[in-house]
Amino acid sequence: MTPKSLKQDALHYHEEPTPGKIATHVTKPTATQYDLSLAYTPGVAEPVRRIAANPDSAYRYTAKGNLVAVITDGSAVLGLGNVGALASKPVMEGKAVLFKTFAGIDVYDIEVCTQDPDEFVNTVANIACGFGGINLEDISAPRCFEIERRLSEKLDIPVFHDDQHGTAIIVAAGLLNALEIQGKTLEQAHITCAGAGAAGIASMNLLVALGADLDNITMVDSSGVIQSERTDLNIYKRAFARETEKRTLDDAMEAADVFIGVSGPDIVSTKMLASMADHPIVFALSNPDPEILPELAFKTRQDLIMATGRSDFPNQVNNVLGFPYIFRGALDARASHINIDMHIAAVHALKDLAKEPVPQKVLDAYGLESLEFGKDYIIPKPFDPRLIDTVPAAVKAAAIASDEIHKN
């Protein structure tokens, strides 16, 4: 398949036979006049009265409990940047496809034509009552941190920015397994992260919550190492500012046990890779072109474990392993928020699942004869049918244990 043919196939896929990728469908019978009198007037008045008297009844009489809004302002779409709300719609529809396919969750995609945080927050807050959860998508940093925080404080339904936490959860699950294989621990690992936007900041925050030593984390942005002498740092980057003589990515890679890249293509040289500690771990997650290609990395050294964001290499860090199942668990628990305990539960569920025997269905889906826990398999495959039974149950249990559920 050539890049040109892929582009043409993608355009045809989105246009034919019906434009777009999603549609609504009716869940109740509509074959008779009486059916319609129940679906709409006069019958519909009765659930209206029940919900007016007790808003919690919306979960009994409407689709609210299985409905998520995927909402964006179009400011950070894929690797395309700030393309605007309307141009982001194919991505939001794609997210809806993944929610429905993998977790049976219904979605309305909503593209908000403002990039003012106050206007965006107010818009989402004013429409949120009809949804069971809010998935924020493709919103640029650092505004995304403020937007998620404010909405989480305002609303009593789960708010989840997948570009932050979805990525962080999959990274953490894969990294814990990779560290185990390499004979290292998270508590002692020296971690370099290239990219200090939504995914980078959230990933490091989650790793710290899991036990990583903040003093062992070196973050690098487009201006170099995030260190204490810099005066251009926002509050989210400042939390990772270290007193260090390191100033460049080259410096930060030396003796590092782990490299996590959520930045851009081809920024890691073979020299940098060679300078890492023995048995290193490299997560080169820039898409579609990673920070260093696996074939080049393995030519440089054979003792590494590598993951990318691509499906054509082993160990794909793919957010579809997370967000559908995290929301499934949160919705099933009637959670009011998705908290750190639920994030950690998802991490461990994914981590542990990778150690279990792989079903034949997964092998068939990927054209493999065998697959087992090891350097080329540190995280489950997206088409693993066990995910829907494993991750939501863990997230739901964590929600209940942390008292993050509606009591009505």
**Which residue ranges make up each domain of the chain?**
21-62, 165-308
The pLDDT of residue 390 is above 70: yes
- Whether the link from the prior residue into 3 is cis, omega within 30° of 0, is no
Least confident of 48-57, 224-233, 379-388, 396-405: 396-405
The pLDDT of residue 154 is above 70: yes
> What value does the mean pLDDT take over residues 171-193?
98
Assign 5 a pLDDT band (cuts: 50, 70, 90): confident
Residue type, 85: A
What token pair was written down for 398? 């964590």
Among 40, 271, 355, 366, which one carries the catalytic annotation?
A: 40
Residue type, 338: I
Work out the burial of residue 57: count CB atoms within 10 Å of its CB; fewer than 13 is exposed, 13-18 middle, 19 or more buried: middle
Per-residue pLDDT tens for 94-147? 999 999 999 999 999 999 999 999 999 999 999 999 999 999 999 999 999 999
Q: What is the pTM of this model?
A: 0.94
**Total count of residues recorded for the chain:** 408
Q: How far is Cα of residue 120 from the mean position of the Cα atoms in its chain?
A: 21
The pLDDT of residue 312 is above 90: no
What token pair was written down for 93? 């529809």
Cα–Cα distances in angstroms (integers) from residue 91 to residues 21, 77, 98, 381, 406, in the given order:
10, 8, 11, 22, 31
What token pair was written down for 86? 């309307």
What token pair was written down for 208? 């710290």
Catalytic residue check, 40:
yes
- Beta pairing class for 224-225 and 217-221: antiparallel
Assign 310 a pLDDT band (cuts: 50, 70, 90): confident
> What value does the mean pLDDT take over residues 370-379?
96
Assign 260 a pLDDT band (cuts: 50, 70, 90): very high
Among 95, 351, 381, 396, which one carries the catalytic annotation?
A: 95
The pLDDT of residue 13 is above 80: yes
The pLDDT of residue 16 is above 60: yes
| Token pair 């959670």 in the structure block, residue | 335
Q: How many CB atoms lie within 10 A of CB 188?
A: 12
Percent of the chain at pLDDT exceeding 70:
98
> Which H or E run includes 64?
none
Report which DSSP code applies to 156.
S
Catalytic residue check, 59:
no
> What value does the mean pLDDT take over residues 348-357?
98
Backbone angles phi, psi at 69, to 5 degrees: -95, 120
Per-residue pLDDT tens for 269-305? 999 999 999 999 999 999 888 999 999 999 999 999 9
> What value does the mean pLDDT take over residues 145-166?
96
**SS3 label, residue 225:** strand
Least confident of 5-19, 107-121, 380-394: 5-19
**pLDDT at res. 408:** 53
**pLDDT at res. 79:** 77
Residue type, 26: V
When the pLDDT of each residue in the chain is averaged and rounded to a whole number, the result is 95
Percent of the chain at pLDDT exceeding 90:
93
Angstrom distance (rounded) from CA 393 to CA 242: 38
Angstrom distance (rounded) from CA 303 to CA 310: 21
The pLDDT of residue 80 is above 90: no
The pLDDT of residue 403 is above 70: yes
CATH topology of domain 165-308: Rossmann fold (3.40.50)
**pLDDT at res. 407:** 56
What token pair was written down for 269? 């040289």
Angstrom distance (rounded) from CA 151 to CA 129: 12
**pLDDT at res. 406:** 65
